[in-house]
Amino acid sequence: MYIGADYYPEHWPRERWETDARMMQEAGFNIVRLAEFAWINMEPQEGTFEFGWLDEALETLDRHGIRAVLCTPTAVMPAWIARKYPETLAMQQDGTRIVWGVRKNNCFTSGAYRLLSERITRAMAEHFRDAPNVIGWQTDNEFGGPVCYCDTCRSAFQDWLRAKYGSLDELNRAWGTHFWGHLYRTWGEIIIPVDPSTHNPSACLDWQRFGSWLNVRFQRDQVRILREVCPQHFVTHNFMGLFHELDYYDLAEDLDHVSWDNYPVWGPPSVPYLASEAADVMRGLKKKNFWIMEQTSGPGGWGAYGRNPRPGEIRKVAFQQVAHGADAVVWFRWRACTAGREQYWHGILGHDGKGLRRYKECAQTATDLHGLSAALEGTTVKPSVAIIYDYDSIWAVRIQPGYAGNTYHAAMDRLYQALFRAGVNVDFIRSTDDLSPYRVVLAPDLYVLPDRVAESLRQYVQNGGVLLADSRFGVKDETNLCHARTLPGLLSDALGIAIEEYESLGQGDETQSITYKVLGLGALSGSYTAAQTAEWVQPQTAETLARYGEWHMQPYAALTRNRYGQGWGYFLGTVIQEPGFYDALIAELLERAGIAAVVKPPAGVEASIREGNGRRLLFLINHTEQPQTVTVPAGQMELLTQTETGHTLTLDRYGVAVVQLA
C-alpha cells in the first residue's frame, strides 16, 4: 500500500521541507505527488529549465523513505506563454480568449501549446528518470476542458469528421441533415454546434466525441515521451470519478492504471453512495485496481469552505476506497496553503503547519492500511453483477433527454444504490465488453444502442444471463438517429415486449406533473408511484410483474419479466419514486441469477469484498454516527483487531472492519 499526500514544496521555505518530510515519515507516509502546477518554477522563461529546487525536495523526501509521483505541469501555463503565444488560450463562444489567471486555459488544437507541452514533458523525463525515489508520473491534472471555439478547433473538427466519415454523403446520412435542409456541400461549411438544446443532435454528439478525443490525443503525446524516456516508471492520470465530459475509457487506454480524486465530504453527513459508485467506475476503466491521488483531508472550498470531516470520517473514507480496489491513498493536501484561490481548501495540516487531529487520524489510517498490506496484495473486487456505463448514451441523453428530468446518472443511481444496500459489489463495463463473466447485467438509460451491441445483449440473455433494461432503452443508433423500429427493436424477443407509445409525465410542481399508481405483484408486491415517464409496454411473451392502476394504462405493464433461451430479460418502463421498489427489484434479479450476498448490511453500512491469491476479505464500513451491528460469518479473523468473529460484529460510529473469509 502507498499512503501519502499531495505536496507543494514550492509553497514553503526550504527550511520547512525537512520538517515536512520527517512528519510524513512519522505518520507512516511513503508517497507524495509533486509539481502538477509548477511549470513556471521549472521553466521560468522559454527554453530555460530549473530543476534544482525539485531535486532538493526529492532528496529531502528520499532521506525519509518517501517516494514520489511527478506530474507533467501542463494544466497551468506560465504567464510568458499566454503573453508570447496568445493563440494558446482557449476561445469562448463570444469570440474572446479566456483571460489567463486560473487554470485549464489552453486550446488543445494549438500547435504552439502542444509543442511546449511536449518540451516540458521531455525535459522533466530526461532530468528525473534516474531520481532514486521517483516511481511514476501523473499526466497533467484532471483533464476535462476547456472547450474552445476558435477557428483552429473548427478546422480540426472538420478534419476529424472527414477522417471518421470519409465523404460528405456519409456524414449527411449519419447526421440526418435532410431535416431543416441542413445538407453540407463542402467540409468547410460545417460549424461548431454551440447549443446542444437546438442544434443537430448528431452533430452535437460528434462534437462531444471530438472534444474528448482532443484531450486523449494531448495526453497521448505526453505518454509517448514518458514511455520512451522513463520505461521503468508507471504513468497514470487523476480522473474525476463520475465526471462525464470525456470518454474515460479512451483516456485510460494509454495508462498503466487509473487514479482519481475523491471528495465525498460535503453537506450534512450521509451515505456516500456516489463515492462508492465512482470507485467502481474507475476500477472498470481498465478492469484493474486504482489509486486515490487526491482525497478529502479537511474542509474544501475556494471562496467559502465546507464542513470539517468528523472524527473517524477521514479513516472510513479511505477504507471505502480500499474496499473497492484502491491500492494507494494520497490525501489532498499536505498543508493548507496561505495564498491563492485555494486558501480555504484545507489539508492534513492547517495553515499553522502543526500535526493536530486530522494528522493523527491520517497517521492511524496509514498504520492500519500498512498492517493490511500483505493480506491485500493480489486482491481486487470480482463482482457477478455489471452495469453498462456508456458515454455515448450519457451525452445523447443530455442532448435530448426524452422525458423531463431524465439524466443518465439518475437512472444508474437508482439501481446502484439498491445494490449497495443489498451488499452486492458491481462492475461498470463498456457496452462492447464481454458480458459472459456476469450473471446479471443492468443497462440503465442505454439510449444509444448500435446493432452489434443489441445482438450481444440478446445472445447474453439467450445464453443464460439476466438483463434489466429500462425507459429510453435502444432508442438511438451510434450516430444519434432514432432507430426506425418498434421499440425495443432487436431486443423485442429477448424482452418479450413491444412499445408502440410512450409519454413524459413531467417534472416539477404538482400542477405540471402527472403520477400513475403502480401495483407490484408477487415478490414486488406493494403499491408504488410512477413518475417522469411511462412507456406503454405491451407484454408479448413476457409476464407482468408490476401494472398501472389508471384505467387507460391497465393494458400496459410497468415491469415485465421474460424467459428467453436460458436467461431472463426484464424491462422497467417508468421511474418509481419509492426506493423500496428498487430494493425489491434488485432482490428479484439476484435471486433469479442465484447470487447471494455474504452479509445483508443494516442501513448505512457498506459491505464490499476483495479477493485473490486464495484470500477473500470482507470490508464493513459504518457510514452513520451511531453504532451498527452486522450479522457476519462466525469463526473468522477480523484483521484490524486480530480477533475472531462471533455471529455478529458491532461497528462504532464511522467504524470499519476487515474480515478474512478465506
pLDDT tier at 512, thresholds 50, 70, 90:
confident
Q: Which cell is 531 given?
A: 413518475
SS (H, E, C) 555-591: CCEEEEEEEECCEEEEEECEEECCHHHHHHHHHHHHH
- Calculate the CA dihedral of residues 648, 275, 581, 532 and round it to 10 degrees: 170
Share of the chain above pLDDT 70, in %: 99
Quick: pLDDT tens for 599-634: 999 999 999 999 999 999 999 999 999 999 999 999
Quick: pLDDT tens for 15-57: 999 999 999 999 999 999 999 999 999 999 999 999 999 999 9
User: 230: Cβ–Cβ under 8 A, 6 or more apart, which residues?
Assistant: 125, 128, 129, 137
Quick: pLDDT tens for 145-188: 999 999 999 999 999 999 999 999 999 999 999 999 999 999 99
Quick: pLDDT tens for 52-106: 999 999 999 999 999 999 999 999 999 999 999 999 999 999 999 999 999 999 9
The CATH number that domain 605-660 falls under is: 2.60.40.1180
Dist. CA 400–CA 110, nearest whole Å: 31
Work out the mean pLDDT of the chain and round it to a whole number: 97
The DSSP symbol for 190 reads: P
Q: 543 pLDDT exceeds 90?
A: yes
The CATH label, of 3.50.50.60, 3.40.50.12780, 3.40.50.880, 3.30.70.20, for the domain at 385-593 is: 3.40.50.880
- Minimal CA–CA distance to 361: which of 281, 289, 295, 275? 295
Write out the catalytic residue numbers: 142, 294
Dist. CA 406–CA 445, nearest whole Å: 9
- State residue 507's pLDDT score: 80
The CATH number that domain 2-150+199-376 falls under is: 3.20.20.80
- State residue 510's pLDDT score: 63
Residue 386: enclosing H or E segment and its boundaries? strand 385-388
Dist. CA 34–CA 141, nearest whole Å: 11
Residue 602: HSE in the Cβ half-sphere, 13 Å Cα cutoff: 14
pTM of the model: 0.98
- Minimal CA–CA distance to 76: which of 115, 111, 110, 117? 117
pLDDT tier at 511, thresholds 50, 70, 90:
low
SS (H, E, C) 459-504: HHHHCCCEEEEECCCCCECCCCCECCCCECHHHHHHHCEEEEEEEE
Burial of 512 by CB count in 10 Å (0-12 exposed, 13-18 middle, 19+ buried)? exposed
Quick: pLDDT tens for 391-405: 999 999 999 999 999
Looking only at the bridges linking them, the beta strands covering 516-520 and 543-548 are antiparallel
- State residue 662's pLDDT score: 81
The residues spanned by each domain of the chain are: 2-150+199-376, 157-189, 385-593, 605-660
Q: 509 pLDDT exceeds 70?
A: no
Q: Which cell is 448 given?
A: 444509444
Q: 578 pLDDT exceeds 90?
A: yes
Helices (H), 230-325: 248-252, 273-286, 313-323
- The length of the chain in residues reads 662
Dist. CA 377–CA 1, nearest whole Å: 8
Give the residues across from 466 on adjacent strands.
440, 568
Are domains 2-150+199-376 and 385-593 of this chain identical in fold? no
User: For 428-453, what is the mean pLDDT?
Assistant: 98
Q: Which cell is 315 given?
A: 479513516
Neighbouring C-beta atoms of residue 487, cutoff 10 Å: 23
Angstrom distances, CA of residue 279 to CA of 241, 292, 611: 7, 9, 16
